[in-house]
Every structure is written in structure tokens, then in C-alpha cells.
Amino acid sequence: MTNTLVQNESINKVEEIKDSILEHLCFNLGKSPRIATLHDWYMATAYAARERMMRNFVSYTEKMQNKKLKIVGYLSAEFLMGPHLGNALINLGIENETKKAVEQLGINLNDVLEQEEEPGLGNGGLGRLAACYLDSLATLQVPSVGYGIRYEFGIFDQTIRDGWQVEVTDKWLRNGNPWEIVKPELNYTVKLGGHTESYTDDKGNYRVKWMAESEIKGIAYDTPVPGYKNGVTGILRLWKSEAVESFDFHAFDKGDYYGAVHEKVFSENISKVLYPNDVSDEGKRLRLSQQYFFVSCSLQNAFHILNLRGLSIEEFPESMTFQLNDTHPSIAIAELMRLLIDEHQVSWDKAWDMTKRTFAYTNHTLLPEALEKWSLPLFAHVLPRPLEIIYEINSRFLLTIRDKYPGDEDRVKRMSIIDERGNKSVRMAHLATIGSHAINGVSALHTKLLKQDVLHDFYELEPEIFFNVTNGVTPRRWIKLYNPRLASLVTTHIGEGWVNHLETDLIKLEQYANDASFQQAWHDVKRQNKTDLADLIQTVVGTKVNPDSLFDIQVKRIHEYKRQHLNVLYIAHLYNRIKQKRAEGIVPRTFIFGGKAAPGYFMAKLIIKLINSVAETVNNDPEVNGLIKVVFFPDFNVKNGAHVYKAADLSEQISTAGKEASGTGNMKFAMNGALTIGTFDGANIEIMECVGEENFFLFGLHAAEVAETKANGYWPYDIYNNDQELKQVIDMIQSGVFSHGDTNVFKPFVDSLLNVDPFLVFKDFRAYVECQEKVSAAYANQKVWTKMSILNVARMGMFSSDRSIKDYCENIWKVAHG
């Protein structure tokens, strides 16, 4: 095409988009441009973008009718999608045209984008991974449906009061959600509670009937997921719970109106709120009901799709495969068995074979507090029929173990789905493992440890069903959308193929690593991104930070294993040096933190308070004279992430080795030009292998050394006593230097470190300090630093979620991909 043709086409597109926005403003919002608020313009623009996706959505759904295709069902209790509009415009390839269209209407696109409430239907890494995977599934044209829960309240909003986290309910639906399409006809009934009764059917077969205490209805809400410039729109299908219709009749029948209303409220509660715990589990009844609810709706929907495609029940495993995103949806194994046996009269052996072929399980953590266990009485109360099925699965499974390992009753106990020790419980990881044909960890180290420790017995039994799929993140959102300056610099030099071929194309940047003018341009991009973040910090937090200082950033959920407190101890150490006039060699640094703590996690909340207290002291001390600054950026979420990753010089990935399954923030930072200071943990290891040891700041114990240290008896108090600088830092915190003389507030924090230090903060402190000195020395030479930054980005291609999804397709799902 000639240039003028391209130009004309683009002008036509702008006109088209403008017309579409104006139409939606009128027909969907009932407003004239004169009285339209910015939010109205956002809604109208969102509808205009959605409209463009819907045609593809319909044709994609049609395509799924093809009997030969295997559909991937991604079952996840969390999808942390982030704002849709910006991403939709990028993936539809209409961002420039839309910018012009809204400009011609007298509005700024960024202001419009700012209007979107974040759909925060996830806690952190696990939920965001699911969102990146949906983007890649659509981009790689894999027929797929993401199945989850349409929580009315997503992850709480975090505000900071007097340095403490205060949680505020997330009313993300209050102004409407233009992205979802409700499908009232797609509704399924889910049973809860009650008891079971057995009977003999007319053919003389033993059968079981579940006499539920209550029934609730799940309604489908579909959100289109656009692939990158490929005419494909995938589906995110979320279930909202409602009361079954019979509710009204009951009320009239029994004359018990309030009782009936109570039932309605109970039903609606199921999808009311996301549990805000990340990597920990509370074992709450409502949570178990949520899990069963969305899984049952999704599987019933799968039978419906099977039927639409004219396939038989036997063809289920070839027609659809389900990935279990952690154990949260693992009750699906019992539910599919129930549907096959109780509702479709399939025999046990056949049903079991089909079930195993249908499911695959991804484990996301080795931490014991995150491995889901349900108390047996609670389980029996909520899910009596699924529990019977679990018992049967277990007893048959244990027979095979006894057969294979005669006399090894210890092994039988270790592997049983039911934990018989103390208060009996159902181990969901065992159910997920036994009921799946593939199990995977999320980084090479994590998978290795999974085989070695947590699932060792299962690995010994069936080594061939264990896989590794290292996590990835989508370059569409995390580079192109959220770092437009870097994206356009990269595209100018290597073309735009990297956006959906990161694995092969990004490496082409290497040739520019030594190019002085490219280095300058690279440096300028980072500098501008830092200025933007500095402005935002000034507005949101009120702290003035210097864009020429080293931006040292740790954003992620607050958790002791992630060791934000190790970072804080280093800051206190620098402060101490400045106070003692030993500031030589300190480069100006801005330490930026962000992340939410689970509302019930006392120590994590105390760490937030400590960060804010250190910030207050350090930032206001004239002797520090701006050499170091500390910022806690409130309410870290996807939307705020847009401003943070691109502005980082240094990415903090400092978890205790063996504890972070993978990490995905580490990838977002490195792809956007930050260097990493990190431990030998999760995907850090693979990142280091790719970018080169010389471009990565590695420190600390390895996973095996961590285990060894603990096994040999770990005495943090001795380390404190033998390291004068560490001792000074701890004493400063204890004596109230950061708390206006209050010696109580941080006492639990100090005591925990001195007496237990469960995550070996003291043990790694010295190595961390020394490594940070290397960082400072490297940063002093900006040319060298910039070169390292370029090489980091160039070599990050493998961490695209496209690569991860291809791995799943090829090794686990056995489906074709684009």
C-alpha cells in the first residue's frame, strides 16, 4: 500500500471510531456531548472498543463448534485483569486512531483511560498470571475459556493512615462495567449441604442422590479478551451467584417471607467478595462454597458446550482440557466424577479414566501455610456427595500404593488425600495430583523442589507426569502499553515483531548495546519515566524525589518470605552510616515500596508501618540532605504498576531461597530495563542465566543452604551479636529512633527477628549489604549501567507468557497454537 492509502485508511478509521463513540454516548448512556462527564466518555469509548471485539468474539465462539478442536478451560479463582481499555486499543491496533478520535471530541485519551476502575479480581502473582495467560491464549489463537468468579468486591483498596494500612472495600462495579455481557440463559444450579441417599435404579445399579440443603444459581458474565492484532477474541467467563427461581414460591408456600429472603441473601453471598489472602489459607466455609460453586458451573457449562458441538460424553477429555490454577479449583476432580457418575450414569472406572485425562494441575507454592487443607467436618457439611467421591478416589488410590509398596504404611499415610493426624483434613494438593495427568511447577527451581519435597512420593510413583513451565508475562501490557517510550525506541530499531515474537526478536537489541547514541536514547527514556513517577509520587504521597537518584523498587504483596524487611534494614543501615558521617560511596537512592498486606497478617502490616516510619525519619532529617529517600506508594495494583515498573533502575527480588515459586514482577522489571538484585530463587535463576551473571546482582544463601542452616539449629541472636552494623540497626528500631521514642510499636518485629527469624533475614544481611555496595559502584558509571540495562532487556525474550502458553500447549494440553 502506498503511504497516502495508509493515511486515508487511518483517517477513515478515526472517523469511524469517533462516530461509534458518539453513538454509544447517545444510545447506551443517554447523554449529549455537551453534558457528558469524563466517565461517560470513558464508557462510550469502552463500548466502541468492545463493539470491535464482539464480531471476533462471535466468530471465535463459532470456531469452537468445530468438533476436532480441543478447548482449553483455564480454571482459576482469580483473574487480575487490570484496566481493559488501554489494552484493548493496543491489541485491536487502534490506539493512535482512538487517541485522535477522542482528541477531535475535545478530550484527552489518558484522562479517559484514568477513569477505568481496576477489576481487581485477584490477590497478586497467581491472579495476574492467569490474566497474562488469557492474553497469550487469544494471541496464539488457542480456543480457550477462562473460568472464574465475578466477585462483587475485589481485592480491597489500600490507604495509609498514620503509617498503617487501612483497608477500604473495592466497589469496582459501582459505575457499571462496560466490558461484561451477561448471559442469563447460561445458568446452572449448584447444590450445597444436606446429605446423600442411595437407591437402586431400574437396571439394578447402585446409585446415590444428593439431597442438598440449599441450591444456588450461577449466571455467566462474559468478558471479551482480544488477541494481539489477529482478529481473535477469547472469553473470560465469570460466574455470579444468585438465588434459584423457586425462592419466591417457597416464600408463598411456607408463609416464611423472611426465611426466603435469608436464603436469597445467602445465595448472593457466594460470589460477594474475594478472600484477600495471598499465599495463605484460612479454611473458611464460604471460601469452599465459592470454589465448588464456580467449578461446578464451569463443568456444567463444559457439558453444555459438548452438547452444542454434537459430541458424546465419552469424547469429553478429547474435546476439552482443564488447567487447575493451583488447588483452589481442584474440587473439580470430584465434581466431574459426580457429574459423570450421578448425572450421566457413567461407570466409575470409565469416569476416572476420563477425569484424569481432563485435568492438569499447576502448583504455585511450597509454603506449608498455602497448601490448602479443609477440615473434614466442614467439608462433609458443605459438600457431602463430593466428599464421598473423594473417599472412594482415595481408597482406590491407596490400594494401588499398598500394592506397589507392600508394608509401607508410612507412605500410605503421607500420600492419602485424607490427613488422619489430629483434626482430620482433606489435602487438596493430593486430590489435584492424583486426579491429573500432568503436574507442573512454575520455575525450574520450584519444579525441582516440588519433586524433591512437597510431592516427592507422587513423583516417585509417576515421574513422567511432572513438568516445568516457567511463568511469563505479556509484553503487550507490560511493555507496549505501559512503557510506550521504550516500546517505540525498540520498534524503531528492530521493528515491531517483538510484540508477539518476544522470544525470537528482542535479542536483536543486543547489537545496539555498545552504540553510544542508542545508549543515550535508552537512558533518556528511563530518565523520563522516572520523572513521571517522581511527579506521581509528589502528587500521591507528597514526597519530593530526585529523578537522578537510583530508583530502587520493591513492589509485590507484603510477606515475610519476600523480605521487604531485609530491604528496610539496609535503608536503616545507610541512614546510620550517614548519621555517623560514613556516607562515602553512597549513591543517591530513592527506595520505593508498594504492596498490600493480608488484613489478618499482623507482621506484614507492621512491616508497612516500619517502612513508613523509616520514611518519615529519613526523609525529614536535614543531615540526610536528600541522599536517600524512602517512599511507600499506596494501593499497589495493576493500574499503579503502569507507572512503577518502567521507572525502576533496580528491581528487588530478595526472597529467602526456595520460597518464591517463580515471581513475575522480576520479569516485568527486567523487561523494562531494570537490573535485578536477587537471591537464587524462583525464576530469578533463569533470568540470571539469560541476561548473564555479569548483568545481575546475585547474593545470599541457596535453597539447600537455607534448609541446612535451619536443620543445624539457627541462632539469629548470635548473628546480631557478631555483626556490629546489624546490631546498631536493630537497636535503632527497638529504641524508637523511627517511632518518636516509642519502644513498643516495633517490639514484636524485633523479637521475631532476634528469636526466630523464620526467613533468615539476619543470615543474608551481610551478603545483601555487600551486594548493594556493588550496585552503587556500578550505578556510578552510567554508561556501563545503561549497557547492562540494554542487555537485560534484549535477553528477556523467553519470559513472554507466549512462550509459557506454547509450553503448556505442546507438553501438557497437546493442542495446536498459532
Instruction: Please give the backbone phi and psi of residue 214, each rounded to the nearest 5 degrees, phi first.
Output: -145, 160
Given a contact cutoff of 8 angstroms between Cβ atoms, the answer to whether 305 and 320 are in contact is yes
- The answer to whether 650 and 674 are in contact (CB under 8 A) is yes
Identify the residue among 82, 119, 120, 125 touching ligand GPK (CB under 6 A). Answer: 125
Site string for ligand GPK, 191-210 (x = CB under 6 A): --------------------
Q: Which three cell numbers stand for residue 296?
A: 461446578
512/593 with CB nearer ligand GPK:
593
Of 267 and 662, the one with the shorter C-beta distance to ligand GPK is 662
Nearest Cα neighbor of 682 from 542, 551, 799 is 799
Instruction: Provide the minimum distance between the beta carbon of 350 and ligand GPK in the complex, in angstroms, as a whole number.
Output: 33
Per CB under 6 A, contacts with ligand GPK among 246-305 are 278-279
By CB under 6 A, name the one of 364, 563, 605, 668 that touches ligand GPK.
364
Using CB under 6 A as the binding rule, the residues of this chain from 23 to 82 that contact ligand GPK are none
Nearer to ligand GPK among residue 56 and residue 804 (C-beta): 804
Contact set for ligand GPK, span 475-514 (CB under 6 A): none
Determine whether 556 is an active site residue.
yes
Active-site residue flag, 63: no
Whichever of 156 and 316 has its CB closer to ligand GPK, that residue is 156
Counting contacts by CB under 6 A, is residue 190 touching ligand GPK? Answer: no
Strands annotated E in 193-318: 195-200, 206-211, 214-226, 233-243
Pick the closest to residue 609 from 564, 669, 659 (CA basis).
564
Q: In the complex, what is the shortest distance from the CB of residue 442 to ligand GPK, in angstroms, rounded to a whole number?
A: 4
Concatenated DSSP letters of 562-578: GTHHHHHHHHHHHHHHH
Q: What's the CA gap between 191 and 691, in Å, rounded? A: 52
Nearest distance in Å: CB 326, ligand GPK: 6
Q: Which of 277, 264, 298, 327 is nearest to 149 (CA)?
A: 298
The three three-digit cell numbers of residue 15, written as one number:
472517523
User: Phi-psi bin for 530: left (phi > 0), alpha (psi -120 to 50), beta?
Assistant: alpha
Q: For the CB of residue 346, give the shortest distance to ligand GPK in the complex, in Å.
A: 33
Which residue among 217, 240, 373, 557 is the active-site one? 557
What is the closest distance, in whole angstroms, from the C-beta atom of residue 764 to ligand GPK in the complex?
18
- Letter for the amino acid at 576? N
Q: DSSP states of 128-163 as a string?
A: HHHHHHHHHHHHTT--EEEEEE--SB-SPEEEEETT
Q: Which position among 664, 676, 679, 786 bears the catalytic label? A: 664
Concerning whether 501 is annotated as a catalytic residue, the answer is no
For the bound state, the minimum distance from the C-beta of residue 418 to ligand GPK, rounded and expressed in Å, comes to: 22
Least Å distance, CB 180 to ligand GPK, is 24
Instruction: Give the count of alpha carbons within 13 A of 552, CB side only.
Output: 24
- Counting residues that bind ligand GPK (by CB under 6 A) gives 19
Catalytic residue among 556, 559, 659, 763: 556
Q: Is 664 a catalytic residue?
A: yes
Helix or strand or coil: residue 792?
Answer: helix
Q: Where are the alpha helices (DSSP H) in 407-546?
A: 409-415, 428-434, 444-449, 456-461, 475, 484-494, 502-505, 516-540
Query: Of 118, 335, 560, 660, which one interacts with ligand GPK (CB under 6 A)?
Result: 660
Task: Tell me how far apart the alpha carbons of residues 144 and 151 are, in angstroms, rounded to a whole number.
Answer: 21
From candidates 120, 329, 384, 663, binder to ligand GPK by CB under 6 A: 663
Other beta carbons within 10 angstroms of residue 683's beta carbon come to 28
- Cβ nearer to ligand GPK, comparing 124 with 234: 124
Please state the closest distance from residue 382 (CB atom) to ligand GPK, in A.
Answer: 21
How far is 501 from 514, CA to CA, in rounded Å? Answer: 24
Q: How far apart are CA 282 and CA 355, in angstroms?
A: 28
* Residues in region 129-168 near ligand GPK by CB under 6 A: 129
What number of residues does the chain have?
818
User: Which one of residues 330, 500, 664, 676 is an interface residue with ligand GPK (CB under 6 A)?
Assistant: 664
CB of 758 to ligand GPK, least distance (A): 16
User: What is the rounded distance in angstroms from the CA atom of residue 800 to the CA atom of residue 365?
Assistant: 21
Q: Report CA-CA distances (Å) from 381 to 144, 195, 288, 394, 430.
A: 34, 8, 11, 19, 21
- Which one from 217, 668, 795, 806 is the annotated catalytic residue? 668
Instruction: Give the type of residue at 91.
Output: N
CA atoms within a 13 Å half-sphere pointing along the CA-CB vector of 672: 36
Q: How many CA atoms lie within 13 A of 309 on its CB side?
A: 25
Yes or no: say if 755 and 717 are a contact pair by the CB < 8 Å rule: yes
Q: Which stretch binds ligand GPK (CB under 6 A): 160-168, 304-312, 660-668, 711-719?
A: 660-668
- Of 660 and 764, nearer to ligand GPK (C-beta) is 660
| CB-nearer residue toward ligand GPK: 471 or 474 | 471
679 to 698, contacts with ligand GPK by CB under 6 A?
Answer: 682
> Which of 124, 226, 472, 700 forms a contact with ligand GPK (CB under 6 A)?
124
Q: Which stretch binds ligand GPK (CB under 6 A): 497-505, 523-531, 635-643, 657-665?
A: 657-665
List, in order, residues 6 or more apart from 8 with CB less than 8 Å away: none
For ligand GPK, which residue of 102, 306, 370, 761 counts as binding (CB under 6 A)? Answer: 370
**How near is the Cβ of 287 to ligand GPK at its closest, in Å?**
12
Instruction: Please state whether 652 falls in left (phi above 0), alpha (psi between -120 and 50) or beta.
Output: beta
Query: Is 668 a known active-site residue?
Result: yes
* Lookup: cell for 268: 448472593
C-alpha angle with apex 474: 472 to 476, nearest 5 degrees?
Answer: 160
Alpha-carbon dihedral 399, 403, 404, 407, rounded to 10 degrees: 100
Identify the residue among 291, 355, 365, 679 touching ligand GPK (CB under 6 A). Answer: 365
Which segment (207-215, 588-596, 656-664, 733-741) binds ligand GPK by CB under 6 A? 656-664
Beta strand pairing call for 418-419 and 425-427: antiparallel
Q: Of residues 71, 126, 131, 675, which one binds ligand GPK by CB under 6 A?
A: 126
Of the two residues 444 and 540, which places its CB atom closer to ligand GPK in the complex? 444
Q: How far is the CB of 364 from ligand GPK (least distance, A)?
A: 4
Binding mask 84-123 for ligand GPK (x = CB under 6 A): ---------------------------------------x
d(CA 806, CA 673): 25
| Cα separation of the two ends of the chain | 26
Is-contact 217 267, C-beta < 8 A? yes
CB 235 within 8 A of CB 225: yes
* Shortest separation between residue 18's beta carbon and ligand GPK, angstroms: 40
Q: Could you tell me which residues come within 8 angstroms of residue 541 by beta carbon, excluding any fewer than 6 positions away?
A: 631, 632, 633, 634
471 interacts with ligand GPK by CB under 6 A:
yes
Q: Report the site for ligand GPK in 307-326 (rule: CB under 6 A).
A: 326
- Identity of the residue, 303 or 799, whose beta carbon is nearer to ligand GPK in the bound complex: 799
Q: Of the two residues 367 and 698, which places its CB atom closer to ligand GPK in the complex?
A: 367
The least distance separating ligand GPK from the CB of residue 679, rounded to whole angstroms, comes to: 13
- Residue 330 in contact with ligand GPK, rule: CB under 6 A: no
Q: Nearer to ligand GPK by C-beta: 471 or 792?
A: 471
Residue 756 identity = V
Site for ligand GPK in 428-447 (CB under 6 A): 442
Tell me which residues touch ligand GPK (CB under 6 A): 123-126, 129, 278-279, 326, 364-365, 370, 442, 471, 660-664, 682
Residues carrying an active site annotation:
364, 556-557, 562, 664, 668
